Structure 1
Amino acid sequence: MAEDTRVIVGVSGSLGNAAALRRAVAEAERRDAVLVPVIAWTPPGGEAAYRTRPCPPLSKLWERAAADRLDAAFARAFGGYPAHLRVEPVVIRGEAGPALVEIADRPDDLLVVGTGRRGGLRRFLHASVGRHCVARAACTVTAVPPSEAPALKAVAGQRSRVTSLAA
């Protein structure tokens, strides 16, 4: 395995994100690379609201919930983390687009993001993580549209392999 080669994938926990996860796993296999699934989270109401009334115990709960969503995404898509790959999951506090660009900071990284299903109004009201990454990433970005019928497997009791990073 090439130590410098990484495939980073943004994980949202949505069913539509399964196509991006499958593409990232396939690319990590093909490149003999480390798979780095990343889930970003922010406190409910955003950072500004949290700063007015910080609560570290709640912050830990929200971080744990994000880690659980990351684990659940892999459980649904693959039955757990692929055993044949080196997987280094990351939970990071911050907005998804900037967090992914920060982590995918090497020219030989591959960043995989889902495009999601958005109509004109939703696109106008919510910033696109994929568009942010394509415009600002230092590496190649692959934007994967959601598949029509993702093959999902539900497996309970998967052990977490998540690493947390403070933003």
Structure 2
Amino acid sequence: MNVSRRDEDGPRRVVVGVSGSLGSLAALHRAVAEAGRLGAEVLAVLAWEPPGGEFGYRRSPCPPLLAAVRDAAAGRLATALGEAFGGARPAVPLRSLAVRGQTVPVLVGLAGRPDDLLVVGAGRGLLRRGLRPSVAAGCLRQAGCPVLAVPRPALQHDLDALHRRHFWHLPEEPVPAR
């Protein structure tokens, strides 16, 4: 009997990185649209690490703290899914998974089949780019499947501009009289 790869490994998947940011929620909506078009299921993934990273945790492990961080990550993912869909279920099969690990290796590892589609949010401000490598760029370099990088929504650009304006133009506070 001739069995296709999809039959062996389950239905086609659209894997999407979700952090709770507006950009990741836009990526989640796009992933659902792509899954509907492809007849696929969506796997929404939030990657998390212990405070201080894996190296810091190995130096001074604290299982109760690790459990609290894991539970917080699962809660953040559930909240993001609730906010994205307003409590309703999308029209495609959707599974969610909070995974311990760095974001790019986790996403690339889960979207490991050639017929998977990996969807990530793209575009960050200059400051964030300088502090942390881009997840979208890392996924584009390392993934063995197609990657769809969804641009930041216009609302995020407006919010960033408002924040910059507020940050750089703070009124001087009067010095209290003695």
Q: After TM superposition, which residue ranges in structure 1, 4 or more long, deviate above 6 angstroms? A: none
1:1-167 correspondence runs (5 A): 3-80=10-87, 82-119=89-126, 121-149=127-155
Q: CA deviation at 1:81?
A: 6.0
Residue ranges of structure 1 left out of the alignment (5+ in a row): 151-167
Residue ranges of structure 2 left out of the alignment (5+ in a row): 1-6, 157-178
Q: Quick one: percent identity of the two aligned structures?
A: 51
Contact 2:112 2:145 in 1 (8 A): yes
Cα RMSD of the aligned pairs, angstroms, is: 1.8
Report the structure, 1 or 2, having the larger helix content: 2
Per the alignment, do residues 115 and 5 of structure 1 end up closer, same or farther by CA in structure 2, a change over 3 Å counting? Answer: same
Question: For this pair of structures, how many residues does the alignment match?
Answer: 149
Q: Which is bigger in relative contact order (C-alpha 8 A, separation at least 6)? A: 1
TM-score by length of structure 1 reads: 0.83
Q: Which structure's CA Rg is the greater one?
A: 2
TM-score by length of structure 2 reads: 0.78
1:100-137 deviations in Å (ceiling 9; x for gaps): 00100000000000013221x43232111111100010
Distance 1:84 1:115 in 2: 25
